[in-house]
Amino acid sequence: MKSVNLLIKPASSLCQMDCRYCFYKDVANHRKEYEVKMMQRETVDVLIEKACSFAGENGFITFGFQGGEPTLAGIEFFEYFCQKVINTKLSSQKIQYLIQTNALKLHQQWCDLFIRYKFLVGVSLDGYKENHDSLRTIDNHASFSLVMKSINLLKKNKIDFNILTVLTNQLAKHPQKLYHLYKKQNFEYVQFIPCLNDLNYLNQYALDSHLFSNFYKKLFKLWMKDYYSHKYIHITLFEDILALLQKQPPMTCGFIGQCQPNFIIEANGSVYPCDFYALDEYQLGNIKELDFKEMSKNKLFSDFSRIENSIPSLCEKCKFSQICHGGCKRMRSVYIQENYCGYQDLLEDLLPEFYKLLYNH
């Protein structure tokens, strides 16, 4: 069975918010020719037809939507997209829909669409109110209450959702406050994405490797207490480590140093191998001109995905190298600073506890 993972930018980098650390706006601004446009139906048609053809019999296709803010494309866009998939896919093919949203303006019609097509919804929430509102604003106004209102609507409609939180230096200093809020809200699935430096200059919010390690060490102690009581939050990093120790694939792309085969599709049909590298030099082609099979054979695609890509010398000497293989190359700026690796420090501390956990359960 072939799995095809597509991350679609229906509204490109367009967003109502002005997040202090937005990496994709920075990426988009580095392209020579860049104009924010909505994805047209002609592009949707070609994309879906070529995706279904590439997946073949019994294929599994994940259509993920991200931005910018994908809901700006409108409900009609998503209704058209999903109906086109129904009318195009082979009967043996399985389809999964994901959407990552700022959740500013979700309403019942959105919930009805998510239910109808079984969307898994990712909600961007940066922890407690003070932190969230200092980083994620709309016209210089706070957004926390709007996001929480949308979260409560998702809960009311029993829609599967997870929380995606950007881990900045300031948030990493308060793991207890963050964890207790998420526990109080009964959030089941949480992923922390380290805040990165921009491509050409330092970002004051970018996560320091020492803070990364200290945050997760403190968070782990809180998580472990709840794990043994079977009332724990599913935290992606911890579950990825557990998966690796049991020789299972992790959920997070790049977690073992190798990029998963993904196609990032911009609103104009341009295709890239990674969300972090949606740049001119990594463009695989345009879906209106090439199919996914042709682009997957592009040397750029194979070179980008190689596990041996630029492994730092610090990793070569590390006793945990067979676990992470250097990790995601874009995330290394978070893990490694000079001769210190925050991830190595974290594994040194946590692995004995993880082994105990596996032994006892």
Q: Give pLDDT tens digits along the chain (361 positions).
A: 799 999 999 999 899 998 888 866 655 555 556 666 899 999 999 999 999 999 999 999 999 999 889 999 999 999 999 999 999 999 999 999 999 999 998 999 999 999 999 999 999 999 999 999 999 999 999 999 999 999 999 999 999 999 999 999 999 999 999 999 999 999 999 999 999 887 666 778 999 999 999 999 999 999 999 988 888 999 999 999 998 888 888 888 777 767 777 899 999 999 998 887 778 888 999 999 999 999 988 888 877 766 555 677 888 888 888 788 778 877 887 888 888 999 999 999 999 999 988 877 6
Distances (CA, A) of 103 to 51, 58, 144, 221, 320: 28, 33, 10, 30, 38
CA dist., res. 40 & res. 119, Å (int): 21
pLDDT at residue 51, rounded to an integer: 98
What CATH superfamily is the domain 3-360?
Aldolase class I (3.20.20.70)
pTM score, whole prediction: 0.93
**Annotation says 275 is catalytic:** yes
| Structure token digits, residue 61 | 């296709």
pLDDT at residue 27, rounded to an integer: 53
Per-residue pLDDT reduced to its tens digit, 185-231: 999 999 999 998 876 667 789 999 999 999 999 999 999 999 888 88
CA dist., res. 260 & res. 10, Å (int): 22
Burial letters 161-195, b for 16+ CB under 10 A, else e:
bbbbbbbbbbbbebbeebbebbeeeebebbbbbbb
| Structure token digits, residue 36 | 């924010």
Domain boundaries, given as residue ranges, for the chain: 3-360
Beta bridge partners of 272: 264
CA dist., res. 48 & res. 243, Å (int): 32
pLDDT at residue 361, rounded to an integer: 65
Residues 26, 208, 275, 291: which is the catalytic one?
A: 275
pLDDT at residue 271, rounded to an integer: 95
